[in-house]
Structure 1
Amino acid sequence: MSSSDRGPLETAKAFAWTVFLVALLLWAAVWLIQQVWVWLLILLAVVVLVGSLVWWWRMRRDRW
C-alpha cells in the first residue's frame, strides 16, 4: 500500500473544492428548474387532462 503524500491542508482544500463544486451544480440545477417550472406544470396538467379523458372514454366504451 502506498501512503498518501497529502497533508491535512491539501485534504481540506480538496474537500472544500468538492463542496464548492457540489454547491455550484446544485445552484445550476435550481436555476434551470426556475426557468422551466411553468412549462413543467403545463405539461403535467396536459398529461393529467389527457389521461383523465382517455380513462373516461374507456369507461364509457366499456358500458356498450
Structure 2
Amino acid sequence: MSSSERGPLEAAKAFAWTIFLIALLLWSAVWLIQQIWVWLLVILAAVLLVGGLVWWLRARRNRW
C-alpha cells in the first residue's frame, strides 16, 4: 500500500506517532540539561573568566 492510498485513520495515527516522538525527544533533551546544567554553568564561568583575563592582559599590554 503506497502512502497516497492511506486513509484518514492511518494519516492520523502517523501524525500522533510523530507528535509522540517529538515530545519524547524534547523530554529527553530537558532531562539531559537538568542533569548537566551545573557543569554548563561552570564551563560558562571558566570561559568568561579566561576571556576577561585575556582582555585585561591585552589592554594592559597595549598601554606600553
Q: Tell me if both proteins adopt one fold, taking TM over 0.5 as the criterion.
A: yes
1:10 aligned partner, one-letter code: E
In the TM superposition, 1:4-15 aligns within 5 A as: 4-15=4-15
How large is the RMSD of aligned CA atoms in angstroms? 1.4
Write the deviation string for residues 21-62 of structure 1: whole angstroms up to 9, x where unpaired.
000000000000001000000000000001001100111111
Give the match's secondary structure for 1:4.
helix
Unaligned runs of 5+ in 2: none
TM-score (norm 1): 0.93
> In structure 2, do the counterparts of structure 1 residues 5 and 48 end up closer, same or farther at CA, with 3 Å as the change threshold?
same
Output the CA distance in 2 between the equivalents of 1:57 and 1:14: 59
Residue equivalent to 1:19: 19
Structure 1 runs, 4 residues or longer, greater than 3 Å off:
none
TM-score between both structures, scaled by the size of structure 2: 0.93
Query: How many residues of Structure 1 are paired with residues of Structure 2 in the alignment?
Result: 63
Q: Residues 1-64 of structure 1 correspond to what in structure 2 (within 5 A)?
A: 4-64=4-64
Report the Cα offset of residue 3 of structure 1. 7.7
Tell me, in whole angstroms, the C-alpha distance in 2 between the residues paired with 1:3 and 1:44: 48
